[in-house]
Amino acid sequence: MKIKRAMVMAAGKGTRMRPLTDTMPKPLVPFAGRPLIDHVLDRLEEAGIEEAVVNVHHFADMLEEHLAKRKGGLRIVISDERDALLDTGGGTKKALGLLGDDPVITFNSDSVWVEGFGSNLRTLAESFDPERMDALLMIADTVRTIGYVGRGDFTMDPLGVLARREGSSTAPHVFAGVQVIKPALFADGPDGAFSTNLVWDRLIEKGTLFGQRMMGIWMHVGAPDDLTDAEAFLRDL
């Protein structure tokens, strides 16, 4: 199916990225010579997405000013969270009137990667089957990441169905910050702030949360040292 719209998660305070985020929103932190959010928007435009809803909160005026100057065919719509930070789930729920009813891509503004063969974003969009899936997450193999030091997020069965890592065990896959999801799933979420994890847990119970392994190298850039490591990796390619 053709996916036309995306939501870019850009409202967070970027606490772990301090001191850089003491003077700018995390999506404007430079990475490889350009703000993080420009890498995201370029990926969306290259994949044929027509409109991106971007939520704003931390240094919202600065981010809006930057987005207003962007050129290209991708339309940008602002979802204003200045009054209250709503987390990923609450932010998506607030933006439902902008997102419409069809499946959308949600994209964390700090998700960056080196492509393997082809476009991971196009593959994700083309692989989404609304008859079987409520959400399709782009996942990275934990051994093919830069800067990630966790124990993984999910296991995946041969059909692509995801399950949570259990307790203190490890899991081979980590969420790479991008998914295709049916926006109506957020309508039943609580008022105020909540995480998309709440929606995912419901889908896991139904067996409708799926994963798509990305090709290439995913780079975790949650803190200044992560940025340094990721940029060093790019220079060595």
pLDDT tens sequence across 103-126: 999 999 888 998 877 899 999 999
pLDDT tens sequence across 52-89: 999 999 999 999 999 999 887 899 999 999 999 999 99
pLDDT at 229: 83
Report which of 209, 13, 5, 216 is spatially closest to residue 107, judged by C-alpha positions.
Answer: 5
Q: What is the length of the chain?
A: 237
| Amino acid sitting at position 131 | E
Report which of 171, 101, 99 is spatially closest to residue 141, judged by C-alpha positions.
Answer: 171
Fold of the domain built from segment(s) 5-236 = Spore Coat Polysaccharide Biosynthesis Protein SpsA; Chain A (3.90.550)
User: pTM for the whole thing?
Assistant: 0.93
pLDDT tens sequence across 124-169: 999 999 999 999 999 999 988 988 888 888 999 999 999 999 888 8
pLDDT at 2: 86
Burial status of residue 71 (CB atoms within 10 A of its CB: 0-12, 13-18, 19 or more): exposed
